Amino acid sequence: MDKIPSFTIDHNRLLRGIYVSRKDKVGNENVTTFDIRMKEPNREPALGQGAIHTIEHLAATYLRNDPEWKDRVVYWGPMGCLTGNYLLLRGDYQSRDIVELMTRTFRFIADYEGDIPGAAPQDCGNYLLHDLPMARWESRKFLDEVLSHITDDNLHYPDSSI
């Protein structure tokens, strides 16, 4: 079998950031998949399961309610390796196009207080697996250390033309 493109990225050099992972044509629409990388793969601990699950709930809720972007959001969800999330947007975008959106999203999570949306047995398949304090901490870390002073190195995959 052919190696899929996301497995050809040099994860030993990959930094935290926002990356265009792929672009697909779906019918007459373009869909851009973003790699929202919160951890340096294989060089720092992955996100805890409860934290990334809470980040998923809060980010998906925030994005699907954002007045400017909600009609373009296709999907937000965690990576299996627990080092970040995928965001799929209807449209053809570059990484820099969503820096402000990601900044607002992670600020929302970092400052969030209250009940986690969808964290009830009738709404979620694993409603007990949440960790709001760590979700807030990880989001603040990503916001302060990456999003607040993002560079081209955090916006383009190593050795990538995307």
Entry pTM? 0.94
- Spell out the domain ranges in the chain: 5-152
* CATH superfamily, region 5-152: S-ribosylhomocysteinase (LuxS) (3.30.1360.80)
b/e per residue 96-120 (b: at least 16 CB within 10 A): eebbebbbbbbbbbbebeeebbebe
**What pLDDT does 162 receive?**
47
Dihedral over Cα of 32, 30, 152, 159: its sign: positive
pLDDT, tens only, 138-156: 999 999 999 999 999 999 9
Give me the residue label for tokens 């934290």: 51
Average pLDDT for residues 93-121, to the nearest whole number? 97
**What pLDDT does 32 receive?**
98
The 8-class DSSP code of residue 51 comes to: H
pLDDT, tens only, 42-73: 999 999 999 999 999 999 999 999 999 999 99
